[in-house]
């Protein structure tokens, strides 16, 4: 499987800024001679997806940052965006990000409904799991993570990318150590099969992305803030490029 480089813009960039950044990303990727082993996925806010798709379609895939759990296609659900609507543009959908679990009180059950809607529309769910610092320090993190994964992936266990995103590592500048990521990958792959893609997110940047991507147990990275700066995005791509 290709290694994945997934850029999560979160709630950043207006439509105009997103289009302009997409043009720069496209130029950067075009300049690099990325060997065929990397798939780049850009996840803009919903409002920018159609335009960014047009700019990026020859160099990258599109991912959505969320999707409705209510119905996979349509209905009276004010403010929701369905998997069917997204599927005109996106190949991937991030679900269960800790920022949504914490701020919007999303449950494992909600996440599982979202994943089912995603696969019904022929996209791939990127299912995020992660432990708090307290859970890691107490030593219970592996059971916390496996429980979260089991409950959130009901109905699409054979058809997902697992994104390990420790809550303490996201946006903190304090990335998980490579050996710690590998420990979780082994746990996930031994429960769900070696073929289940396992990626890592949480303060990935130009200093650590190559080392993480070089590990055979890690199938990709999910990058937030470092992927929003053209300078660090370009540096990460050129490191991948020099594989
Ligand atoms: P970060 O975010 O790279 O800014 O830590 C990663 C994520 O939340 O997906």
159 neighbors 188 (Cβ within 8 angstroms): no
CB atoms within 10 A of CB 158: 11
Ranges assigned E (strand) in 9-115: 38-43, 61-64, 92-95
What residue spans define the domains of the chain? Answer: 3-240
- DSSP reduced 3-state for 221: strand
Token digits of residue 125? 């769910």
The Cα 81–Cα 185 span in angstroms is 31
Number of residues written out for the chain: 243
| Contact residues for 91 (Cβ-Cβ < 8 A; gap 6+) | 41, 61, 62, 63, 123, 124
- Model confidence over 1-55: pLDDT tens digits? 789 999 999 999 999 999 999 999 999 988 876 666 789 999 999 999 999 999 9
Pocket probe for ligand 1: among 45, 127, 199, 223, the residue whose CB has the most ligand atoms within 8 Å is 223
The Cα 240–Cα 53 span in angstroms is 23
Q: Determine how β-strand 61-64 pairs with β-strand 38-43.
A: parallel
The Cα 28–Cα 39 span in angstroms is 14
Better pLDDT: 79 or 33 = 79
Q: Is 221 left (phi over 0), alpha (psi -120 to 50) or beta?
A: beta
- Model confidence over 94-137: pLDDT tens digits? 999 999 999 999 999 999 999 999 999 999 999 999 999 999 99
Q: Please state the CATH superfamily assignment of the domain spanning residues 3-240 in this structure.
A: Aldolase class I (3.20.20.70)
- Closest atom of ligand 1 to CA, residue 227: 3
pLDDT confidence tier of residue 241, bands split at 50, 70 and 90: low
Cα-Cα-Cα-Cα dihedral of 84, 87, 90, 92, to 10°? 60
Query: What is the end-to-end Cα distance of the chain in Å, rounded?
Result: 16
The Cα 22–Cα 228 span in angstroms is 11
Burial of 242 from C-beta contacts in 10 A (0-12 / 13-18 / 19+)? exposed
| From 109, 165, 195, 206, the catalytic residue | 165
The reply to whether 109 belongs to the active site is: no
| H-helix or E-strand spanning residue 149 | helix 141-152
Q: Which residues have CB under 6 Å of ligand 1?
A: 8, 165, 170-171, 201-204, 222-226
> What pLDDT, on a 0 to 100 scale, did the predictor assign at position 51?
98
The Cα 148–Cα 129 span in angstroms is 7
The reply to whether 165 belongs to the active site is: yes
CA of 223 to the centre of ligand 1 (A): 5
Cα-Cα-Cα-Cα dihedral of 176, 181, 187, 191, to 10°? 110
pLDDT at 242 over 80: no
Residue nearest to atom 6 of ligand 1 (CA): 224
Residue nearest to atom 7 of ligand 1 (CA): 224
Rounded to the nearest angstrom, the gap between the alpha carbon of residue 51 and the centroid of all alpha carbons in its chain is 20
- The residues pairing with 40 across neighbouring beta strands, listed in sequence order, are 5
Q: Read off the pTM.
A: 0.97
The Cα 185–Cα 67 span in angstroms is 26
């Amino acid at each position: 499987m290709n290694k994945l480089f997934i850029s999560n813009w979160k709630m950043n960039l207006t439509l105009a800024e997103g289009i302009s950044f997409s043009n720069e990303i496209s130029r950067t990727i075009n300049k690099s001679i990325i060997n065929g082993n990397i798939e780049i996925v850009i996840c803009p806010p919903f409002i920018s997806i159609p335009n960014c798709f047009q700019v990026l379609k020859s160099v990258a895939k599109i991912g959505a940052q969320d999707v409705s759990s209510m119905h996979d296609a349509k209905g009276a659900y004010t403010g929701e965006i369905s998997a069917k609507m997204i599927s005109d543009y996106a190949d991937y959908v991030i679900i269960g990000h800790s920022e949504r679990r914490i701020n919007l009180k999303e449950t494992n059950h909600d996440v599982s409904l979202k994943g089912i809607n995603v696969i019904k529309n022929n996209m791939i769910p990127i299912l995020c799991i992660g432990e708090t610092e307290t859970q890691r320090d107490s030593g219970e993190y592996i059971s916390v993570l496996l429980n979260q994964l089991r409950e959130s992936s009901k109905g699409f266990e054979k058809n997902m990318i697992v994104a390990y995103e420790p809550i303490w590592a996201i946006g903190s500048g304090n990335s998980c150590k490579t050996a710690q990521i590998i420990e979780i990958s082994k746990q996930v792959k031994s429960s769900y099969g070696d073929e289940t893609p396992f990626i890592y997110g949480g303060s990935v940047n130009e200093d650590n992305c190559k080392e993480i991507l070089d590990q055979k147990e890690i199938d990709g990275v999910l990058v937030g803030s470092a992927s929003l700066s053209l300078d660090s995005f370009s540096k990460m791509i050129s490191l991948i490029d020099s594989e």
